[in-house]
Structure 1
Amino acid sequence: MATGENKTMETAADVAAYLDTVEPAERQADGRMVAALMARLSGEPPRLWGPSIIGFGRYHYRYDSGREGDMCRIGFAPRKAELVFYLAGLDDADFTALGRHRRGKGCLYVKRLADIDMGALEALIVQSLAHMDGLYPR
């Protein structure tokens, strides 16, 4: 089995206290709203993964190389410049209704929640959770 500690691990840090430190104030408010949304949709409490990812649920992965670890099923990070969503299984998703955003490999970037359609975001989160449930049943 491959060794080496994963960089992003679940911590015991207080999520609410972390959100109190987020700047600017609008990002802090958006972070609280996203945390509530993801908790409701996942049925899981928020946990801090590493210094800044707020994750919900967990799964265990193992690569062909033997490397393995745990990660949150869905999550987000309220960064200074934008919200970063960690959602899987959205390659065939329809992002047209979402509004202003950009995408990277496995990430969705949103400057402010006011720029997007919250119903479309909710649908993407639900799709990601279903994808994770298919790959990693609870």
Structure 2
Amino acid sequence: MGEPKTTPTTTSFATYLAGITDETRRADCTALAAMMTRATGEAPRLWGTGIVGFGEYHYRYASGQEGDWPLVAFASRKTDISVYLMPGYDSGEAKAWLSTLGPHKTGKSCLYIKRLAAVDEASLAALIDWSVAEMRRRYPPAVSGPGAAPSR
């Protein structure tokens, strides 16, 4: 099994933002980063060349494949902002928030929006909060010994 292609980097969030030439898109990414920082308590960290992640969890599949990935993340793409909410969108909770979100598309764990101003920010923030809580429930941090600090 090969190494994951997308891993944390040392590129700063400020450097990432500086590379976004569209002023509105840059402001949208700044606002998304604030929402995700609030939901996770974590600072933005670049994964690969274009994914801004917050927090981290360790997964292991029955196949033996394992790795690390952000609890929530986003990426400014050519036509949309991709918001990565790891639990996906099949649950009743996610569907309820999506119904009030406004114009969007979804993939397996990706939410695609054009502009933040076009969606209901309270619904988006609720989706992010739900996603973080669900991932922390599914992948609780490992601890070793009484009173130990959580680790990956």
TM-score bracket, normalised by the shorter chain, equals over 0.9
Q: Distance in 1 between matches of 2:28 and 2:82?
A: 11
Residue identity opposite 2:90 in structure 1 = D
Residue identity opposite 1:107 in structure 2 = C
Residue identity opposite 1:48 in structure 2 = L
Q: Which residue among 49, 52, 59 is the counterpart of 2:50?
A: 52
Alignment partner, residue 108 of structure 2: 105
CA RMSD of aligned residues (A): 1.0
SS class of match (2:73): strand
Structure 1 residue 91, shift from structure 2 partner: 1.5
Structure 1 runs (4+) deviating above 2 angstroms are none
Alignment partner, residue 136 of structure 2: 133
What whole-Å deviation, never above 9, does each CA across 1:6-40 have from its counterpart, x for those lacking one? 01101111111111111322111110110111101
What whole-Å deviation, never above 9, does each CA across 1:51-82 have from its counterpart, x for those lacking one? 00000001111111111111111000011311
Alignment partner, residue 70 of structure 1: 68
Residue identity opposite 1:131 in structure 2 = E
Q: Distance in 2 between matches of 1:29 and 1:83?
A: 12
Matched residues, number: 136
| Bigger radius of gyration among the two | 2
Unpaired runs of 5+ in structure 1?
none
Q: Distance in 2 between matches of 1:101 and 1:88?
A: 17
Q: Distance in 2 between matches of 1:37 and 1:125?
A: 8
Alignment partner, residue 79 of structure 1: 77
* % identical aligned pairs: 49
Return the TM-score normalized by structure 1.
0.94
Alignment partner, residue 4 of structure 1: 2
Return the TM-score normalized by structure 2.
0.86
- Say yes or no: does 1:41 pair with 2:44: no
Higher relative contact order (CA 8 A, sep 6+): 1
Q: Distance in 1 between matches of 2:136 and 2:25?
A: 29
Alignment partner, residue 25 of structure 2: 27
